Structure formats: C-alpha cells, structure tokens
Amino acid sequence: MPILTIDNQRVIAPEGATILEAARGAGIHIPTLCHHPDLSNVGACRMCVVSVEKARGVQTACTTPVFEGMVVQTNSPDAVATRKFVLEMLLSDHPNECMICEVNGDCELQDLVYDYDVAWPEHTGKRHTYPINPDPNPFIFIDRNKCILCGRCVRACGERQNRDVWSFAFRGFETKLVAGADQDLLDARCESCGQCVAYCPTGALFDKMSVGKGRAGQARKVRTTCSFCGVGCNFDLHVRNGKVIRVTSAQDAPVNGLALCVKGRYGYDYVHNPQRLTHPLVRAKWLDPAKLEQQVTDGRWQVMQEAGRRSQAASGKSQDEPDNPLPINQFIAVDWDTALDVVANKLAAEKKLHGGRSFAMLASAKCSNEENFLFAKLTRQLMTTNSIDHCARL
C-alpha cells in the first residue's frame, strides 16, 4: 500500500488507487464534475486537476494512479487557475437563467462557480441554441443548452443500466448528446428508468413530470420504500404543500443506490388520484344492520357510491341474510378491524362447509419475503391447503 503526501498530510492508499480516491479516503476535498464513484473515470471535465511534485503541468486526480512517495498539492495556484478557466469556458456557452432553472440550488456546476468566485463571462462568441424539450417521451425533460458534455449520463446508461441509449455525436463545437442514432428516446430502446437524470450534474436532463412543481429548496425530502415490488428500493419523496412533486433516488440507499425502475421513479401520481381507495370497502349485506345504521349515523362509516340497486328476490339473497335498509351490494367504507373480521368469518364459513381443499391462494411480488412467508404459513397451516402460487411465475 503506497504512502503519499496530499496537502502536507500523510496518506496511505490502497494499491491501484487514484489520487482522487486517496484524497477522499483521507477526507480531502477535490472538486469534480464528470466523475462519479459509481462510474468509470474519464478525466473529461478537468475540474479535479492537481499539482504533483516533479510532474509536468497539472494532473487529473480521477485518472492518475498514486505511487510511493508521491507529493500532491490539491489547491496549488496552477490547479486553481485551471479550474477557474474551465468554469469560465463552460459558462461561455451556458444559459444565464439560474433564477428560473429547475435545479437551482441543486446544481453541481452552480456550486463550483460559487466556490471559485467565477464571474459570468460576456457572451460574444458562438453559442448553442438547441430546442428545449424536443423529445415526446413522457418522463425525461431534455435541455441540451445546459449540457456540459461530462458524459455521466452516457456512462450511467451503459455501465449501470446496460442499455447504451445515450452517446455523443458530431465533433468539436458541434458535439452534442444524442439518443441512439440521434433519435427519440423511445425509438432508441430507452426504458425510461431515469438513471441519466439521477447522474446529470446540471439541468440538462430532468424529470418531466416535476417541471414547474418546485425546486429542491422548496420541497421537503421524505425517505421511503417503494411499494411496487418486494425488492425494497429506497428513494426520497419531494413533498411540497402536502403533495409529492418528485421522486429521486439516493446514493446511500442500501438496496438500489441511485438505480430505480420506471415505476419506482415515475409511478407516484396514484398517491393523489381522487379515485384512490383510502378505506376498506365492505358490501352492506355482509354487515350487521343495527351496527351499520349506528356507525353511519355517527360518521365512523361512510356510504360510498351505490354499486347497484337490486330487489331481494332478484339478488338471490338467502333467508338467513339480514334485512339491511341499504341496497345489498352498496359499498360501505369501514374500519380495518371490521373488514378483516368479515373476511375471516367468510373464510371460516367456507372452510367449514367445503374444507381446505376448496381454497387456492395467490401471493404477491409486491410483498416482502417475510410477508410472503406468513402468507404461505396462513395457507398451509390455517387454510389447510397446498394450493398456493406466486404472481411472479405468471
């Protein structure tokens, strides 16, 4: 394990580590733009340049391996001047609209410009004027005018998602980010997972469903677990005025890191759908008439929209069913204890009448392993049947 000196601090680095990895392992900050710990190193942005003793010029910390006795200065005059020059060049072809940008306050380029006190340069040369939001896909907002060609989205799509949708086309000043052969995203086999958005350091790629809903500083982050399957991915809900306006993945999520599928990242609009059920519904014919009337009168239960008005004779109602004043198929929003009691009583009655072999149970991939284990235990031990299957096999 080589021993080196970084900013007059003795550092022991793993064999094969880069200067950037050694510095961060020792708690020494080196700025970056194109680098991300999940992705391969390319040394494209030149923000991480440092001065190495006896080396000619400045070196990129993210691609330069350490060696025994190396002496590094991360904030030498040459390194700082190079970083400021890089930022000035980036701003010379970047929209001056931070005040209305979606990622204002959550932009890595903006943070570095602030840290290095870089003044906005005069725009006297040629500039790009790409169309904004040119892609018809419903999830990813594209503004190539804000792209700094760092390549993080390209590497994220290829190395993390294995789709290779994004790439660079053309050369020199005409270089631009394209999907496939300069196609629309969906035509280029995009899965709409949003990995590229998660890794973008500026506002070039953003979540289309969240445009205009609120910026990072205006929302409160709430860490939660995805409910769409049993993998257990964690992500942050961005909540503003009591509504979820965006979902972002988190680097420290133990299961998924920055990765999410299209449902996990963009399938959150059901939360505020007015048709979403928030209480269990039980048909009036399965409830005690006296209790039903009392609970509805007291406001504890709610009569939902009528499911269908049928006469007693036409409904095939048996003589032992109670005579409810409401239509027999009317849905009632009740409490969970009441709903579970109805289900348990119905299952017990059917088992007593027909036996456990009359049941077949279907488990869900949206449940955790522990919940599916309990479901299997309920099926085999309480319902006394081995007819159990899982929706993931269908």
Backbone φ and ψ for 382, nearest 5 degrees, come out as: -90, -45
The answer to whether residue 288 is domain-embedded is: yes
Residue count of the chain? 394
Statement to judge: residues 180 and 290 lie in one domain:
no
- Residue 303 pLDDT > 70, yes or no? yes
Mean pLDDT, residues 109-126: 91
Q: Which residue has the higher pLDDT, 310 or 70?
A: 70
Statement to judge: residues 143 and 222 lie in one domain:
yes
Mean pLDDT, residues 1-5: 94
Closest CA to 75 of 120, 33, 110, 28: 28
As to burial, measured by CB atoms within 10 angstroms (0-12 exposed, 13-18 middle, 19+ buried), residue 149 is middle
- pLDDT of amino acid 309: 38
The answer to whether residue 146 is domain-embedded is: yes
Q: Which of the listed residues 309, 336, 363 is the one where a domain comes to its end? A: 336
Q: Which of the listed residues 226, 252, 272 is the one where a domain comes to its end? A: 272
Reported confidence tier of residue 307, pLDDT bands at 50, 70, 90:
very low
- pLDDT of amino acid 314: 33
Statement to judge: residues 301 and 175 lie in one domain:
no
Statement to judge: residues 62 and 25 lie in one domain:
yes
Statement to judge: residues 195 and 291 lie in one domain:
no
Token couple for 110? 């903006």
**What type of residue is 156?**
A
The answer to whether residue 318 is domain-embedded is: yes
Give the rounded distance of the alpha carbon of 147 from its chain centre.
21
The answer to whether residue 310 is domain-embedded is: yes
The answer to whether residue 203 is domain-embedded is: yes
CATH number of the domain encompassing residue 138: 3.30.70.20
The answer to whether residue 48 is domain-embedded is: yes
What residue numbers bound the domain in which 297 lies? 278-336
Statement to judge: residues 157 and 216 lie in one domain:
yes
- Residue 315 pLDDT > 50, yes or no? no
* Count of domains forming the chain: 3
Token couple for 131? 């169309």
CATH number of the domain encompassing residue 75: 3.10.20.740
- Residue 156 pLDDT > 60, yes or no? yes
The answer to whether the beta carbons of residues 246 and 213 sit under 8 Å apart is: yes
Q: Which of 81-85, 303-307, 382-386 has the highest mean pLDDT?
A: 81-85
The predicted-structure confidence for 272-301, as pLDDT tens digits, reads as follows 998 888 889 999 999 999 999 999 999 999
Q: Which of 108-117, 225-234, 250-259, 323-332 has the lowest mean pLDDT?
A: 323-332
Q: Which residue has the higher pLDDT, 323 or 80?
A: 80
- pLDDT of amino acid 390: 84
Statement to judge: residues 220 and 163 lie in one domain:
yes
- pLDDT of amino acid 378: 93
Statement to judge: residues 261 and 165 lie in one domain:
yes
Angle, helices 77-91 vs 108-115, to 10°: value is: 130
Give the rounded distance of the alpha carbon of 131 from its chain centre.
26
- pLDDT of amino acid 317: 44
The answer to whether the beta carbons of residues 295 and 221 sit under 8 Å apart is: no
The predicted-structure confidence for 163-182, as pLDDT tens digits, reads as follows 999 999 999 999 999 999 99
- Residue 160 pLDDT > 90, yes or no? yes
Statement to judge: residues 264 and 287 lie in one domain:
no
- Kindly report the number of other CB atoms within 10 A of residue 306's CB atom: 12
The predicted-structure confidence for 46-76, as pLDDT tens digits, reads as follows 999 999 999 999 999 999 999 999 999 999 9
Q: Where are the beta strands (DSSP E) in the chain?
A: 3-6, 9-12, 49-52, 58-60, 71-73, 140-142, 166-169, 176-179, 205-207, 220-225, 234-240, 243-249, 281-283, 302-303, 331-333, 361-363, 388-390
The answer to whether the beta carbons of residues 350 and 358 sit under 8 Å apart is: yes
Q: Report CA-CA distances (Å) from 3 to 18, 27, 30.
A: 13, 16, 19
Statement to judge: residues 84 and 147 lie in one domain:
no
- pLDDT of amino acid 316: 39
The predicted-structure confidence for 349-370, as pLDDT tens digits, reads as follows 999 999 998 999 998 877 888 8
Statement to judge: residues 217 and 136 lie in one domain:
yes
Statement to judge: residues 157 and 177 lie in one domain:
yes
What is the chain's mean pLDDT, rounded?
A: 91
Bridge partner list, 362 = 389
**What is the DSSP annotation of 126-156?**
----PPSS----SSEEE-GGG-----HHHHI
The answer to whether residue 195 is domain-embedded is: yes
3-state secondary structure of 356: helix
- Residue 260 pLDDT > 80, yes or no? yes
Q: Report CA-CA distances (Å) from 59 to 13, 48, 108, 133, 191.
A: 18, 8, 21, 37, 37
- pLDDT of amino acid 364: 85
The answer to whether residue 102 is domain-embedded is: no
As to burial, measured by CB atoms within 10 angstroms (0-12 exposed, 13-18 middle, 19+ buried), residue 370 is exposed
Q: Which of the listed residues 257, 272, 287 is the one where a domain comes to its end? A: 272
